[in-house]
Amino acid sequence: MDTVTAGLAKDAQKAGERVGLKADSIVIEGGKPLRGRIEVRGAKNLATKAMVASLLGDTPSLLQDVPEISDVDVVSRMLDAYGVAVTSPAPGELLLDPVNVARSHFETIDALAGSSRIPILFCGPLLHRLGEALIPDLGGCRIGDRPIDFHMDALRAFGAIVDKSYEGIRITAPDGLRGANIELPFPSVGATEQVLLTAVKAKGVTELKNAAIEPEIMDLIAVLQKMGAIIWTEANRTIFIEGVDQLSGYTHRAISDRNEAASWAAAALVTRGDIFVGGAKQQDLMTFLNVFRKVGGAFDVREDGIRFWHPGGALKPVQVETDVHPGFMTDWQQPLIVALTQAEGVSVVHETVYENRFGFTDALNDMGADIVVHRDGLESVTRRVPRRKLEQAAVVTGPTRCTAPRCGCRTSAAASATSSPPSQRRGVRA
Ligand code: UD1
């Protein structure tokens, strides 16, 4: 185990034993700078999609650097329900054998899918393999309504028939799937993956406009190319896919998780620590690194990872707007806001990808942060990307001294400490 994890695990275990918490609780004793080395794991946003892609192959696939997360468990169980044999030949590896793929039932799928949204990506591969896909009542983390209209419209464009019933959504393709010209209303990551996973075996060429081009999408394209797919990208978010009749399995190491890397970077900043994140990739973190530097963080890019540290002195406030890649990723704003609670002055973070992604600020305010969420954004701020009307803004005033919240946990060690008490301006503005 690496230094950071070992330290956290030991402290958490001791604190947990003292307060009698269950094994699945996490106890954090704050007030200490985090120092040490940690290896970033394979990306959550690639691993699960690559697992689904294995359904398209005629032979087994081997995925390496698979993170131990609940979405991976959900997808493993879903694949198993469809007859894919999922085994782990070595730690962090999954062998996925799709030779005996077979139909499943709504009840099984519903029970297994839980709150994950990944099951929707089974549609294309299942339509190719079985001529039918069943979609459960979709969950996902609570960050807005998270509709699936782009997915369903894309599947219809390929020639699929979408039937909604009280059990869920049944999708069939009695005449097979044909390549299509699709333009997404927004560069959705999931909908782009849906199109890729469907188009690779559809008859003819698919042109996808306004596609998402996140690094995990490019890694999924790499997986599909290894399997035998023909895919190329052009300027202006356009992806072409030429359908092929047959795909084989792949061997692939997942791209490293840039959200995990950004979280460790923010942890180094907020605890005035020094963390080497093994496996972190500069190319995938460029936009984050610019903001990290503007806030006052220091980093050093090395061949095997990136060292992030607090160089001393005061942190500076910033204005940030989340966006699709290559913009500032929506998943980075949460760890960034934690760090911004320690910056001197007022920071503004605009969320433009999801309509409701500041729920976590309540917990930070409980700990002493000063964050006001403006549900309709801030009119005075000019929008760089006037793409959609989802403009929540979080205004973070710092630095504030953060301490453990009084509810739920009996430990009370101080977290990262600085000066003034939180003002009265916390909470939500409509
Ligand atoms: C993925 C990532 C998530 C990341 C997000 C944006 C995974 C497992 N999750 O989620 O970590 O925050 O990309 O980078 O890869 N939308 C529609 N209709 C649709 C689909 C999406 O309106 O049919 C909207 C969503 O409500 C949201 C926006 O498009 O407002 C972006 O969603 P999308 O890019 O699809 O996110 P996910 O693929 O679900």
In whole angstroms, give the CA distance from residue 427 to residue 366. 10
Residue of the CA atom closest to atom 13 of ligand 1 = 189
- Same domain for 36 and 54, yes or no, is no
State whether 109 and 174 are in the same domain: yes
**CA 398 / ligand 1 centre spacing (Å):** 31
Last residue of a domain, which of 216, 232, 253? 253
Q: Which of 78, 146, 184 to mutate to test the pocket of ligand 1 (most atoms within 8 A of CB)?
A: 146
List 141, 402, 407, 409, catalytic entry: 141
Shared domain for 299 and 242, answered yes or no, is no
Specify the CATH number for the domain of residue 420: 3.65.10.10
Pocket test residue of 70, 120, 182, 189 for ligand 1, highest count of atoms within 8 A of CB: 189
In this structure, are 191 and 75 located in the same domain?
yes
Contact 139, 115 (CB under 8 A): yes
Q: Which of 240, 245, 270 is nearest to 338 (CA)?
A: 270
User: 238 with 273, same domain?
Assistant: no
Domain that holds residue 406: 3-40+257-429
Sign of dihedral through CA atoms 96, 205, 238, 351?
negative
- Which residues does 361 contact at the CB level (< 8 Å), separation at least 6? 337, 369, 371, 373, 394
Same domain? 104 vs 118: yes
Residues 353 and 231 in one domain: no
- Residues 72 and 177 reside in one and the same domain: yes
28 and 50 in a single domain? The answer is: no
Of the residues 201, 232, 253, which one is the last residue of a structural domain?
Answer: 253
Mutate to test the pocket of ligand 1, among 73, 135, 186 (most ligand atoms within 8 A of CB): 186
What's the pLDDT tens digit per position in 327-346? 999 999 999 999 999 999 99
Nearest ligand 1 atom to the CA of 353 is 30
Tell me if 66 sits within 8 A of 94, measured CB to CB: yes
Q: Which of 253, 285, 310 lies at the terminal end of a domain, its last residue?
A: 253
141 is annotated as an active-site residue: yes
Q: Going by CA atoms, what residue is nearest to atom 25 of ligand 1? A: 146
| Of the candidate ranges 101-110, 249-258, 401-410, 417-426, the one whose mean pLDDT is the lowest | 417-426
Residues 294 and 241 reside in one and the same domain: no
Give CA–CA dist 291/332, Å, rounded: 10
Q: Which residues of 351-380 are buried (b: 16+ CB within 10 A; e: fewer)?
A: bbbbbebbeebbebbbbbbbbbbbeebeee
Whether the pLDDT of residue 104 is over 80: the answer is: yes
Q: How many A from CA of 215 to the centre of ligand 1?
A: 14
With a cut of 90, say whether residue 429 has pLDDT above it: no
Q: Which of 180, 340, 332, 351 is nearest to 259 (CA)?
A: 332
CA of 143 to the centre of ligand 1 (A): 10
pLDDT of 407 above 50: yes
Residue nearest to atom 9 of ligand 1 (CA): 45
48 shares a domain with 162:
yes
The per-residue pLDDT for 139 is 44
96 in the same domain as 119: yes
Is pTM, for the whole model, over 0.85? yes
pLDDT tens-digit profile of 46-91?
A: 999 999 999 999 999 999 999 999 999 999 999 999 999 999 999 9
Question: CA–CA separation, 161 vs 379, rounded Å?
Answer: 43
363-397 pLDDT tens trace: 999 999 999 999 877 765 555 555 555 578 999 99
Q: What are phi and psi of 209, to 5 degrees?
A: -100, 155
Tens digits of residue pLDDT in 29-52: 888 999 999 999 999 999 999 999
Asked whether the bond before 399 is cis by omega within 30 degrees of 0, the reply is yes
Total domains present in the chain: 2
Q: What is the CB < 6 Å shell around ligand 1? A: 45, 117, 144, 146-151, 186, 188-191, 212, 329-331, 353-354
Residue nearest to atom 30 of ligand 1 (CA): 354
- Average the pLDDT over 401-408 and give the result: 77
